[in-house]
A and B are shown apart, each in its own frame.
Chain A
Amino acid sequence: MESTRQEQTHYYVPAPSRWPMVGAVALFCLGLGAAFAVNGQSPGSLLLGVGALILIGMLFGWFGDVIRESLAGEYHGKEDSSFRWGMGWFIFSEIMFFAAFFGALFYVRVIAVPTLGDMDYKLLYPDFTASWPLSTGPGITSTYQAMEAWGLPMVNTLILLTSGVTVTIAHWGLLRGRQSQLVGGLVATVLLGTIFLGLQLTEYHHALHSLNLTLASGAYGMTFYLLTGFHGMHVLLGTIMLAVITVRAARGHFGPTRHFAFEAVAWYWHFVDVVWLLLFFFVYWL
């Protein structure tokens, strides 16, 4: 483990594995199932369910293999830096995914809606007013209210910021070999993530039932739900990953110099955190 990168002449290449093939079957079921499901056709949800189960099985099997290899000491400096680069580029791809939706938000706010309010379109949409949240337009069939930034969203901001602190406390515990600080910090982070998700669900319930805000509520509703929704899915994924890491930390899988999995999840969590701050600023506040 102490070997520097220069000394290592071997690189771990895993044995043939069935998991990629299983994962391909899973994604085929999910893709075909989703295509049927969004059209309300019968085999859709069944296929989706089957695909999801296979995918979950695949993830357990695959990550199980990786964890066993890690514990067996197959990974050294080179493998470790591969994992780090890999995780970094994965997060970059996620950033670009969110960039597409933020781009859509900026475009509708700065270009599409103001343009529709121009004189050019007065004949087409005489009652249209270019306001944000957008409340007029022939596609917006029922009135709704926008989400207030300083209620639950503010609480959620504080929760996620706190969780960023607790995960860092866990990291310090790990680096200094304090097991209880590590596990305690992780448990707190998982709890905060779960509370965030719970509050997010409450917020959606409130939005749907009290504010009448839906996906179909025009430019505001669609960007609100898709941005916060995809972010919520990432929080869910991050929370699950944190939970796995918590269990592994409790079992003593990590040491002060050997904990890539912990750091990867921590990076992911900070990424989710930063996306939320942007969301809070651009979706809720502005």
Chain B
Amino acid sequence: MAMTDVQQAPAHHHKPSGWSRWLMATNHKDIGSLYLWFSFIMFLSGGVMALCIRAELFRPGLQFFAPELFNQFTTLHGLVMVFGAIMPAFTGLANWMLPLMIGAPDMAFARMNNWSFWLLPPAAALLMLSFLVPGGAAAAGWTLYAPLSTQMGIGMDMTIFAIHIMGVSSVMGSINIIVTILNLRAPGMDLMKMPMFAWASLITAFLIIAVMPVLAGVVTMVLTDRHFGTHFFNAAGGGDPILYQHIFWFFGHPEVYIMALPAFGIISQVIPTFSRKPLFGYTSMVYATSSIGVLSFIVWAHHMFVTGLPATVQLFFMYATMLIAVPTGVKVFNWIATMWEGAMTFETPMLFAIGFILLFTIGGLSGVTLSVAALDIQLHGTYYVVAHFHYVLVAGALFSLFSAMYYWFPKMTGRMYNERLGKFHFWWSMVWFNVTFFPMHFLGLAGMPRRIPDYALQFTEFNSIASVGAFCFGLGQLIFLYNILTSLKNGKPAPALPWEGADTLEWKIPTPAPYHSFVEAPQVEADHNGSIVSMHGDKHH
């Protein structure tokens, strides 16, 4: 009733121009684009470090880098990819697509949204600058295990404070995502109707809020151990280095799902679209995602089987970990059942989605292998683990991101990407990814330790193959960049509905998405997975 005054309020503004559009942004699409570009730059930076690692490992012996520098590369490669590339990319996608998919005018806290983003460049700067300080960057591995991390130089302190800042950023970003989903859904977009991408983002955001403060806490303990005389991770004062691992992995395991659940969400949108069928088992998908979220809090010690935990504790964490394979299996089953007898076409997003299912399942299965305590004691700290989590994070998280970028590129920009180049990018990535990481399974089974710049002669062939694969894979990502850049300028204008089978809310509005979409909340009638039966009353400008 009292809404008339609001309609005159200057709730929306003309599209700002120049630098201030980006520096002072409050528009979810602008902020989403900032996130996505930032994450791609970080992806390339982390990728360069990966190539340095692979160059060093091309042949046995020390080739290019001192062991200290090699350790800094492995550490920063992990930190940059996890906190700089993958997490911001998912937050950026959520920023861009969530309001469009659930019919919200913007993110719930538009100003705070901008702060969440603009905290990332300072944090990244702290990480990168740490290469230049005496002693170099942190070299304890991305897990920053004590007592390695309680030694080392100022680079470790810069890393600690960078983690604090990134933690603030991602907690604020997650509060924004949760509140947007809980509070700003269009009438008719029920929780049990909304797209799986929204569900995945919701549960991911919850995980982030629950565990990033724990990571902040544990690196704070590292900081006080380093400089203020505490003994958290030092037995001389009653502490314990194993305590670090417990707290870190209480964060670290949910972190795995923070990087995987949004990928599940994307795949659950892409597969139905290109199969021209509704998602199979939507409700079970929601419950599977939720139970993965809950279970992820009680499995952390599967990273610690070699620390001498009591056998009963090992058994508990082993079985709890295996339990996660159940909801994950439900998801894989549902995706395949969605494709079953669907009228499938294989555009680039679908190719990446199918590649995801195939390779993520391999990564998931090697994860089940590693969950067996007796096996893990053999494989811990070997290249088998490296192979496992790259199948999950590169072929999992990264492939899903590519799928999402190709899928929503027309909606974001109003232009089509080059399909031929896109398909080439997929096949190129698919082949070289496997050339890079599949041999690592064998290296790990044969006992090659990770995070060491040199190796025994018998590991040479597989390492050389992996290095060739890595360089080709890395180069291939420039195809993606080229495709995006040229399509932004010269791509064919996108039709309103570039994908025949797409029926979620973002496809019901003009293409490219108007700068201010859903200025007025639409009334929608939705079916499972956010597919829209009817919509009226939307307004954009």
Residues of A at under 8 Å CB distance from B? Answer: 1-3, 6-21, 23-25, 27-28, 30-32, 34-36, 38-39, 41, 62, 65, 73-74, 76, 78, 81-82, 85-86, 89-90, 92-94, 96-97, 99-101, 103-104, 107-108, 111-113, 115-116, 134, 137-140, 214-216, 218-222, 226
Partner of B246, one of A12, A103, A216, A218: A103
Partner of A85, one of B119, B182, B217, B218: B182
Query: B105 near A11 (CB under 8 angstroms)?
Result: yes
Report the nearest B residue to A24, measured CB to CB. Answer: B118
Contact with A along B101-126 (1 / 0, CB 8 A): 00011101111101101110111011
Query: B224 near A93 (CB under 8 angstroms)?
Result: no
Query: A96 near B238 (CB under 8 angstroms)?
Result: no
Q: Contacts A16-B26, A139-B238 given; 16 further ones with Cβ under 8 A?
A: A2-B1, A6-B187, A9-B521, A10-B7, A11-B184, A16-B20, A24-B115, A35-B160, A39-B227, A100-B250, A101-B217, A139-B236, A139-B237, A219-B237, A222-B231, A226-B221
Contacts of A16 in B (CB 8 A): 13, 16, 20-21, 24-26
Question: Cα distance A34–B165 when bound, in Å?
Answer: 12
Known contacts A13-B105, A219-B238, A226-B224; is-contact A100 B214 (Cβ 8 Å): yes
Known contacts A31-B165, A104-B243; is-contact A38 B3 (Cβ 8 Å): no
| Chain B interface residue number, banded | 35 or more
Contacts of A86 in B (CB 8 A): 108-109, 175, 179
Question: Cα distance A226–B446 when bound, in Å?
Answer: 45
What are 16 A-B contacts with C-beta separation under 8 Å? A12-B6, A12-B9, A14-B26, A16-B25, A18-B23, A20-B117, A28-B165, A31-B165, A35-B126, A35-B157, A76-B6, A85-B179, A93-B213, A96-B214, A216-B229, A216-B230
Report the nearest A residue to B171, measured CB to CB. Answer: A93
Could you tell me the distance in whole angstroms from the C-beta of B204 to the nearest C-beta in chain A? 13
Query: B240 near A111 (CB under 8 angstroms)?
Result: yes
Contacts of B239 in A (CB 8 A): 108, 112, 219, 222
Query: A138 near B122 (CB under 8 angstroms)?
Result: no
Query: A112 near B238 (CB under 8 angstroms)?
Result: yes
Partner of A38, one of B157, B519, B521: B157
Could you tell me the distance in whole angstroms from the C-beta of A4 to the nearest C-beta in chain B? 9
Question: Cα distance A21–B23 when bound, in Å?
Answer: 6
Shortest 9 CB-CB distances between A and B: which pairs?
Answer: A100-B217, A139-B236, A219-B238, A216-B229, A139-B237, A28-B122, A20-B115, A222-B230, A97-B213
Known contacts A24-B119, A215-B228; is-contact A103 B110 (Cβ 8 Å): no
Query: A137 near B111 (CB under 8 angstroms)?
Result: no
Contacts of B221 in A (CB 8 A): 100-101, 104, 226
Contacts of A9 in B (CB 8 A): 3, 520-521, 537
Interface residues of B in 244-269 (CB under 8 A from A): 246-247, 250
Query: B232 near A3 (CB under 8 angstroms)?
Result: no
Query: B111 near A17 (CB under 8 angstroms)?
Result: yes
Summed over the interface, the residue pairs from A and B with CB atoms below 8 Å come to a total of: 259
Q: Is B11 among interface residues, defined by CB-CB distance under 8 A?
A: yes
Could you tell me the distance in whole angstroms from the C-beta of B120 to the nearest C-beta in chain A? 9
Could you tell me the distance in whole angstroms from the C-beta of B119 to the nearest C-beta in chain A? 5
Contacts of A73 in B (CB 8 A): 5
Interface of chain A: mostly helix, strand, loop or mixed: helix
Query: B213 near A96 (CB under 8 angstroms)?
Result: yes
Question: Cα distance A31–B153 when bound, in Å?
Answer: 15
Report the nearest B residue to A97, measured CB to CB. Answer: B213
Query: B104 near A11 (CB under 8 angstroms)?
Result: yes
Q: Is B496 among interface residues, defined by CB-CB distance under 8 A?
A: no
Question: Cα distance A104–B129 when bound, in Å?
Answer: 31
Question: Cα distance A66–B460 when bound, in Å?
Answer: 62
Query: B111 near A62 (CB under 8 angstroms)?
Result: yes
Interface of chain B: mostly helix, strand, loop or mixed: helix
Q: Is B291 among interface residues, defined by CB-CB distance under 8 A?
A: no
Q: Is B226 among interface residues, defined by CB-CB distance under 8 A?
A: yes
Known contacts A16-B20, A86-B179, A93-B209; is-contact A23 B115 (Cβ 8 Å): yes
Q: Is B216 among interface residues, defined by CB-CB distance under 8 A?
A: yes
Query: B162 near A31 (CB under 8 angstroms)?
Result: yes
Q: Is B477 among interface residues, defined by CB-CB distance under 8 A?
A: no
Query: B119 near A3 (CB under 8 angstroms)?
Result: no
Query: A31 near B158 (CB under 8 angstroms)?
Result: yes
Could you tell me the distance in whole angstroms from the C-beta of B410 to the nearest C-beta in chain A? 25
Q: Is B369 among interface residues, defined by CB-CB distance under 8 A?
A: no
Question: Cα distance A108–B239 when bound, in Å?
Answer: 6
Partner of A24, one of B122, B178, B520: B122
Report the nearest B residue to A23, measured CB to CB. Answer: B115
Which among A17, A76, A140 has the greatest number of chain B C-beta atoms within 10 A? A17
Contacts of B157 in A (CB 8 A): 34-35, 38-39
Contacts of A76 in B (CB 8 A): 2-3, 6
Could you tell me the distance in whole angstroms from the C-beta of A60 to the nearest C-beta in chain B? 15
Contacts of B111 in A (CB 8 A): 14, 17, 19-20, 62, 65
Contacts of A19 in B (CB 8 A): 111, 115
Query: A74 near B26 (CB under 8 angstroms)?
Result: no
Question: Cα distance A39–B174 when bound, in Å?
Answer: 33
Report the nearest A residue to B174, measured CB to CB. Answer: A89
